[in-house]
Amino acid sequence: MYTQLYLHIPKGTYSYTCIHIYTYTFFLTPHISLHLSLSLSLSLSLSLDPLHFVHESNFSFFLLSLCLTFFSDFLFLFFRLSPFFYPYSIEDNAGDSFYGDKMVIFYKNELGKYPRVLPNGFEINGGIPQLAPLQDHLRAASSDINNAIPNEAFSGLSVIDWESWRPLFVHNFDSKRIYKFLSKQLVRQKHPNWNKRQVKLKAMHDFNKAAKHFMWSTLNRAITLRSSGRWGFYGFPRCYKHHCITTRIDNNRLGWMFSASTGLYPSIYLKHQTDSWVKKAQFVHETLQETFRVFRRFSSMNKSVIVPYTRFRYEDPEQLYNKAELLITIVIPAITGSAGVVLWDSSVNFEDEALCRSTERYLSRTLGPFVVTLTDFLKNCSRQQCNNQGRCVKRHAFVVQPNISSYLLHTAGRLWRVLRSLMYSQYSWLHQWHNKSQPDFSVSDILHSYDYTCQCYPGWGGTSCNVTSHA
């Protein structure tokens, strides 16, 4: 059960107490704002235009949303801390609500009647998509969307975070095997004389069909009600076991999802701190490569935005990302064409004052300055090279080059060597960091070391985004 963590920041003071819901925007420069929204989750966003977070024609070339989602059992936590934002002017955000005008996230019990099985085996809303009350779900989802997003012109990020089961039968492994079991059980009840193979094939077919219909209908209803929102499912496209090439066919089978989505929200969380820099960058690159491939094939006509989810710490709350890990998970998405990133964290890391203070220090000393350096660079690059009508992306970045994607597809046996070579040639700092746990570098120097080209916003074309386009 989700409970709410309320935050109140009294105007004119530099301390806060977790009591009420408020939303603020922190202006770091005249053009860069940091949006803070707290209730069930904390959301910070960086954009060049605080009034237009992801507008089709003029959304920023780099957006950062920091979402600290609270699943705590505590109704109130009383902490008095000095926020690192105090040097900046503060302005109320429209709505003063968790469901704000920048980003909305719907979890499993916040949008309609999502079927799922609890750890104790109790089945909610039918348990599996084949038994879900679809029409009741869509009516409830419509009400939830209208209540959460009263503004019919809402144009922010709209993420549906459903993780109890996956839409392809084959991917429901480990703790999700219960959905396979119940699906086969349902088939056996209808066809008691069928053999195991017949039961499995029918269960797979029925599950995939029902999951598709349930998720597609939800997405379609959401877009019908709030057509300007950037709607999509968290964690898709995904690369199972960090191998995107081997799961590409499965992602193609989810083309119905990507064709309907107006936002793609893949996860690029770093799992293991002990992994090499090349392996970490490989995972981020492969996921982004697959996301751009999916975008080109299924989502480009929707003018979708690509906004990966990442974190700023590992599962161990004391292991915060260093600058190198931030470079891999934030800079690589930025310079390869993503519209932004979402930084997520668990409320477990905010259950005492010491953890809150350590996070505050990290935000003010490491993450905050890092993001300001990046956004300043990209803002200036957009102005100088793209007439403020496009986003600067690294020239020849293989993530967005279809010929490289095709090449890698046919060299799976030599993938590691090929990818490592590409990594070293395009990101020379990986080689320099090879045996370093805390590499020393200048973010600004790395950003300036690349040659950039323009990725024009809708309505603009040409090498400098100075030609109007109706495509």
- Distance between start and end Cα atoms, the chain: 46
97 alpha carbon, distance to own chain's centre: 20
Asked if 8 and 20 touch (Cβ cutoff 8 Å), the reply is yes
Catalytic residue among 91, 152, 163, 315, which?
A: 163
DSSP 134: H
Say if CB 462 and CB 386 are below 8 A apart.
no
163 part of the active site: yes
Phi, psi of 20 (to 5 degrees): -120, 170
Strand partners, 240: none
Task: Please tell me whether the peptide bond between 333 and the residue prior to it is cis, using omega within 30 degrees of 0.
Answer: no
State how far the Cα of 63 lies from the Cα of 170, in Å rounded to an integer.
34
The DSSP-derived string for 395-456 is TT-GGG-HHHHHHHHTTGGGHHHHHHHHHHHH-HHHHHTTT-SS----HHHHHHTS-EEEEE
Radius of gyration of the chain (CA): 22
**In a 10 Å sphere around its CB, with 0-12 CB exposed, 13-18 middle and 19+ buried, how is residue 144 labelled?**
middle
Nearest residue to 37 via CA among 59, 73, 70, 12: 70
Phi, psi for 319 (deg, rounded to 5): -95, 85
DSSP classification of residue 365? I
CA angle 357, 362, 364 (to 5 degrees): 95
**333: how many CB neighbours lie within 10 A of its CB?**
26
Give the residue among 261, 167, 266 at the shortest CA–CA distance from 214.
167
Q: How far apart (Å, rounded) are the C-alpha atoms in residues 396 and 279?
A: 21
> Three-state SS string across 155-206, please?
CCEEEECCCCCCCCHHHCCHHHHHHHHHHHHHHHHHCCCCCHHHHHHHHHHH
Active site amino acids: 163
